[in-house]
A and B are shown apart, each in its own frame.
Chain A
């Protein structure tokens, strides 16, 4: 059973703080993703990684960075948190299935971040 875990379910931070969100998967998946989920906007991709130390920008990378030092762990970093980064953050992972692109993504429970 695939498991994707996120370090916190709820987090409250102050404006300007540096925030780390951690994600760990236990299925040896190559691909990992960070999304933010906002009402009426669906899921928007922040960053993804298809291998250790590799990262690609998603659709809304501004204000975020990521780190993937180990295959199972993908961290999202808010360098200086702002109120407009208050959101639900979802981590996901997937393996490489054929045909390429047919993979299922497995999601973590999410971290609800509030920036005050």
Chain B
């Protein structure tokens, strides 16, 4: 069955700490992988995406993610978080039309 797993449901970090959010997927065929972010009171928006090429992709606001095919993973990283990174983060995988979203990770960054 197609699925996306986000292992951390809630993460609390202090400012300047490093961040890594886990994402594993189960999906047949070619995958396209995404991280979306939802800041409090705002729309879901794209952080970064991978569909081919360099498995290390960079997104907005200093985020990056690495696609490791052998591990079916697409973990999100940021070397130094800021208070403004407080948000909910969703990993997603897509095929031709449909997306499958993970259950989300709520990140709280303490100032």
> Is chain B a partner of chain A in the same complex?
yes
Residues of B within 8 A of A33 (CB): 99
Q: B42 contacts which chain A residues (CB < 8 A)?
A: 109
Q: How many A-B residue pairs have CB under 8 A?
A: 58
Partner of A101, one of B30, B46, B104: B30
Asked whether, in the complex, the Cβ of A100 is within 8 Å of the Cβ of B103, the reply is: no
B67 within 8 A of A: no
Interface size class, chain A: 20 to 34
**Are A99 and B52 in contact (CB-based, < 8 A)?**
yes
CA A25 to CA B101, docked complex, whole Å: 22
Report A21 CB to chain B, min CB distance, Å: 16
Starting from the known contacts A42-B6, A99-B32, A101-B95, 15 additional A-B residue pairs (CB-CB under 8 Å) come to: A35-B101, A40-B104, A41-B103, A43-B101, A45-B98, A45-B100, A48-B97, A90-B44, A99-B30, A99-B51, A101-B30, A101-B51, A102-B49, A104-B34, A104-B49
